[in-house]
Amino acid sequence: MIAIVLRNIGRAAVTLAGLVALWQGLVWATGVAPYILPAPRLVASAWLGQVDYLLTNSAVTAAEMLLGLLFGGVLGAGSAILIASIAPARRWLLPVLVVSQAVPVFALAPVLVLWLGYGMASKVAMATLIIYFPVAGAFLDGLRRTEPGWLDLASVMTQNRWAILRSVRIPAALPALASGLRVAAAVAPIGAIIGEWVGSGAGLGFVMLHANGRAQTDLMFAALATLSALALLTYFTVDWSLRRAMPWQPETAADDGRF
Amino acid sequence: MPTHDSPGLAWGRPPTAELSIVEGATGVVIRDGHVTYSGPGDPSAGPLFHNLEAEFAGGLFTCLLGSSGVGKSSLLRMIAGLPPRQGTASGTVTDLDGKSLTGRVVYMDQRDLLLPWLTVLDNVLLGARLRGEPRQRGSALGLLAAVGLSGWEDARPEQLSGGMRQRAALARTLMENRPIVLMDEPFQALDAITRLALQDLSARLLAGRTVILVTHDPIEALRLGHHVQVLAGRPARLDPPVAPPGLPPRDPADPALVGMYRVLIARLQSAATQLAASKT
C-alpha cells in the first residue's frame, strides 16, 4: 500500500518536472517578457519571497472551500433524501435543484457579495451553491437506483419505509454520494475563487486579482500554483476518506491490464 | 420409507418419521388471482393468471414446477405481497381462516441479495435491524453454524463463494423464523454438489413450516416436495398435487421417483407444446 502511494507520488513528481521543463523551454524558445510569462525560477522566488502572504490567503480560500463542501454536501444530501422519499418534495424541490444549476454562478456572484458582504460569507455561499448540485444530483440518482431485489427483501421483512430508507436505500446510494462529493471537491475552488474575484479583501483569488492589477505576473503564477496544490490536496483527501469509509465498494483498478 | 444416505454431503439429514408442524404454519389460499405481464414478449398472449384459485397445505413443502416464464415467480411474489416486476396483479392471499399473511412470511430469492456493506452476521440480522428489534446475535451465530458458516460472521459477502453466499441467505431466511417460507429457485445458481447439500439443509431446517418452493428442476421438486404441483398454460393453471412417497429430502436415484420424474417431464413437455401451439 505504502509502496503504491510512493510510486504514485513519484509518478506525479515526474509529470510535474516534465511540465516545468516544458514551461522553461517555452520561455527560452520564445524569449517572452517576464510580465507575460515569467520563468519557473521567477515564480519560485516570488513564492518564497511572499510565502507568508500566500499561505495566509490560502488559509482563507481553504476555509471557504471546506465550509462550502460542508454546507453544500449536507444540503445536497438532505435534499436528495427528501426528493427520493417524499412525493410532494419531489415536485417542489426538483425544479429548485435544476434551477440552482441553470443560473450561472458567475451571474449570482455580484448579488451574493451585495447581500452577504465582502467577507467570507459570500464566498462560502458561492461554493455551497456550486457544490450543491453535483452532490444532490449524484445522491438522488443513487437513491433512485436501489437494487429492486433488496427492496423486495426488506419490504417483506418490514412495512416501515423509513427503516428501509435508512438501512437499505441510503447505504446502497452511498457510493453514488461519494461520486458526487468527488466532483464537488474538484469544483469547490471555482466557487471560492469566483466569489473572491467579484469582491474580497483576502484569499488566493484576491491575491491573483491584486497581482494582476499591478503586473506582478510572477506572484499571480505563484498564487495559481498554490491554488492548484490546494485543489489537489482537497480532492485527494476527499477521495481517500471516501474510499476508507466504503470498503465494500468494489474497485477495478485502471492498471490491472483489462483496459 | 426410503433410506437416505448422501455420502460426501456435509449436512445430511437423519430420516425422521414424525412431522411436527411449526406453530402458525397454516395453509395458504389464493382466490381470484389475476396477473397481467407487461414486460417484453408477446402482449397478445393474454394474462399470466386469470381467476387463479389455489391452496397450499400447511406445514409441508410444496414444490411448484413449471417452465421459465409461466408465472412461477409472479405467483410467489403475489403470495409474498410484492407487486409484480412488470405488469399488474390482483387477488386475495390468505391463510385458511381468511386472514392476511402479512408478517408471517419470509421470502428467499434465487439471488442471495446479501447487502454488500454489512457483514455476514449483520445480513442475517437484517430483519431485526429493519424492525428495530433487539438483535439476537447468539441465535444468528447458531444458524450460521447450522449452515456451515462458522467463523465467517465478520466477513463481507464479497469474500464468500456463491454457495456460501446462498447459505448465508438461507441463514437470514431462517433467522426471520416465519411459519410461511417462500423460495424462488433458491438453489438454481449453485453447482450440483452444493445444491444437494443446500437442499438437504433446507429440508431439515425448514421442516414443519409451510414452504412454497418454485423450481424448474423436476429432480429438485421430487427431492424436496411433500407435494409437487405443475404450473402450466396461459393463463396458467395448477395441476392437482402429486405426493412422492417417503419424506424429503429424498434420494433422487430412488426408483419410485424415477417413474414420477418421467410423468412430470411428460407433463412439462406437453405444456410447452401447447404453449407453442397457442402462440401460432
What is the pLDDT at residue B7?
38
What is the pLDDT at residue A258?
47
Same domain? A15 vs A98: no
Taking the CA atoms of residue A230, residue A233, residue A236 and residue A239 in that order, the dihedral angle to the nearest 10 degrees is -70
Residue A109 has pLDDT above 80, yes or no: yes
Residue A235 lies in a domain: yes
Same domain? A149 vs A224: yes
Instruction: Give A163-188 pLDDT, tens digit per residue.
Output: 999 999 999 999 999 999 999 999 99
Judging contacts by C-beta atoms under 8 Å, the chain B residues touching residue A152 are 77, 80, 82, 107, 109, 113
What is the pLDDT at residue B14?
42
What is the pLDDT at residue B43?
62
Across the A:B interface, residue pairs with CB atoms under 8 Å apart total: 61
ipTM of the complex: 0.85
Asked if the Cβ–Cβ distance from B109 to A152 is below 8 Å, we say yes
B35, β-bridge pairs: B49, B89
Asked if the Cβ–Cβ distance from A155 to B82 is below 8 Å, we say yes
pLDDT band at B11 (very low <50, low <70, confident <90, very high): very low
What is the pLDDT at residue B44?
65
Asked if the Cβ–Cβ distance from A171 to B115 is below 8 Å, we say yes
3-state SS assignment for residue A160: coil
Question: Span A14-43, mean pLDDT?
Answer: 90
- Tell me which of A151, A153, A174, A246 to substitute to probe the interface with B (most B C-beta atoms closer than 10 Å): A153
Residue B6 has pLDDT above 90, yes or no: no
What is the pLDDT at residue A247?
81
Same domain? A133 vs A199: yes
Judging contacts by C-beta atoms under 8 Å, the chain A residues touching residue B177 are none
Average pLDDT score over chain A:
88
Tell me the domain boundaries of chain B.
28-104+179-279, 114-177
Question: Span B205-227, mean pLDDT?
Answer: 92
Residue B41 has pLDDT above 70, yes or no: no
Q: DSSP for B197-245, please give it.
A: HHHHHHHHHTTTSEEEEEES-HHHHHHH-SEEEEEETTTTEEPPPB--S
Residue where the block lists cell 399473511: B101
Asked if the Cβ–Cβ distance from B82 to A157 is below 8 Å, we say no
Same domain? A114 vs A208: yes
Q: Which of A154-158, A217-221, B226-230, B255-259 comes out lowest in average pLDDT?
A: B255-259
pLDDT band at B9 (very low <50, low <70, confident <90, very high): very low
Residue A224 has pLDDT above 70, yes or no: yes
Rounded Cα–Cα distance for residues A101 and A86 (Å): 22
* More confident site: B212 or A91: B212
User: From the CA of B123, how many Å to the nearest CA of chain A?
Assistant: 11
Same domain? A55 vs A183: yes
Asked if the Cβ–Cβ distance from A248 to B81 is below 8 Å, we say no
Same domain? A91 vs A168: yes
β-strand B28-36 against B88-95: which pairing, if any?
Answer: antiparallel
Same domain? A110 vs A28: no
Asked if the Cβ–Cβ distance from A163 to B132 is below 8 Å, we say yes
Residue A156 lies in a domain: yes
Same domain? A49 vs A25: no
pLDDT band at A259 (very low <50, low <70, confident <90, very high): very low
Chain B residues with CB within 8 Å of chain A CB: 77, 80-82, 85, 102, 105-107, 109, 111, 113, 115-117, 126-127, 129-132, 156, 158, 176
Same domain? A161 vs A233: yes
Chain B interface includes A172 (CB < 8 A): yes
pLDDT band at A36 (very low <50, low <70, confident <90, very high): confident
Residue B106 has pLDDT above 90, yes or no: yes
* More confident site: A103 or A213: A213
User: From the CA of A148, how many Å to the nearest CA of chain B?
Assistant: 9
Asked if the Cβ–Cβ distance from A167 to B129 is below 8 Å, we say yes
Q: Which of A83-92, A217-226, B36-45, B115-124 comes out lowest in average pLDDT?
A: B36-45
What is the pLDDT at residue B36?
84
Instruction: Give B141-180 pLDDT, tens digit per residue.
Output: 999 998 889 999 999 999 999 889 999 999 999 999 899 9
- Number of domains observed in the structure of chain A: 2
Same domain? A63 vs A148: yes
CATH annotation of B28-104+179-279: 3.40.50.300
Predicted TM-score of the model (pTM)? 0.83
Question: Span A175-202, mean pLDDT?
Answer: 90
What is the pLDDT at residue B62?
94
Tell me how far CA of residue B202 lies from CA of B23, B44, B121, B189, in angstroms: 18, 39, 19, 16
Please give the residue range of the domain that contains residue A170: 39-245
Same domain? A24 vs A81: no
Question: Span A184-201, mean pLDDT?
Answer: 88
Same domain? A124 vs A212: yes
